[in-house]
Structure 1
Amino acid sequence: MFSTTPKHVIFYEKTGCSGNARQKALLREYGVSFEVRSLLDTPWDVPTLESFFQGLTPKEMLNPFAPQLKEGTFTLEDYTKESLIEKMVKEPILIRRPLLQIGDVKLCGFDIARLNLLLHVKMPTPQNINACLSSDACNNA
């Protein structure tokens, strides 16, 4: 552990998501403080979402388990990065979870290597940390 004061994380989740629960448990295990907010209930706008997606491709921004993908009613190739963000403002279930804010740094997804650097911890990368497991009792991505 580093001697610097641990940073606080704002953790935007889908309430009840067991994948997000595993991620929060890992943060808790390593002494990281966090505040949980609902990804689906937050009133998003384009500039705010864009700030989480810097340097990402549309595929990296997209929740691969979104119901629209499973049902075949959404095709990523039909969207530019800008139009995808506009759609995500209206349908936040499409956003890859979690969105994380650590000070001025914003992240999309649970990137343990980046989190370790930002939070001054050494979390391992559990195999299922970013997975939506078929054994999870989740009916909405």
Structure 2
Amino acid sequence: MASSVIFYEKPGCLSNGRQKALLTSLGHSLTVRDLLAEPWTAERLRSFFGAMPVRDWFNPTAPRVKQGEVRPETLDESTALALMLADPLLIRRPLIETECGRGCGFAPGPMLDALGVALEPEQDLQSCSRIGPDPHCERPSARAAIR
């Protein structure tokens, strides 16, 4: 069943582009928003993570995570949310909002099931599509704001 989907992405992200194309091909109507520019609050952002462990809220390919500066497995909820509000690149993408709820990431589970997305085991639409460092993945202004 096709539905309206609010899709929070990082503009220019190749993986988010493939995810949007799949949702559109299934007949869903997308409203695309810039995850990095959205005026998040801790309460609103928290609502996308449901029962996921805190470590899974994070984008594993975010520069600060890859470099070991942020270690999601060591964080509590409030610290994790504070870090994400200061540096939205840390948030696992996409965030998806539909009439059936909110979700984080593009991996098999209740949100994608509700949207009729059936990924093959070898089909990975969650991981970063870029090989090597991507200068678009780091926003200097965000980094400067939290130092």
Which consecutive unaligned segments of at least 5 residues does structure 2 have?
139-147
Match of 2:114 in 1: 118
| In structure 1, distance between residues paired with 2:52 and 2:111 | 16
Deviation at 1:138, TM superposition (A): 3.9
The answer to whether residue 72 in structure 2 is matched with residue 61 in structure 1 is no
Match of 2:4 in 1: 8
Match of 2:77 in 1: 81
TM-score by length of 1: 0.84
SS of the residue 2:11 aligns to: coil
| In structure 1, distance between residues paired with 2:119 and 2:60 | 23
Greater relative contact order (Cα < 8 A, sep 6+)? 1
Match of 2:24 in 1: 28
Which consecutive unaligned segments of at least 5 residues does structure 1 have?
none
Instruction: Tell which deviates more after alignment, 80-89 or 42-51.
Output: 80-89
The alignment's C-alpha RMSD in Å is 2.1
Q: How many residues align?
A: 136
Question: Deviations along 1:73-111, whole A, 9 cap, x unmatched?
Answer: 222244212210111111111000000000250101113
- Relative distance call for 1:70 and 1:34 in structure 2 (3 A) is same
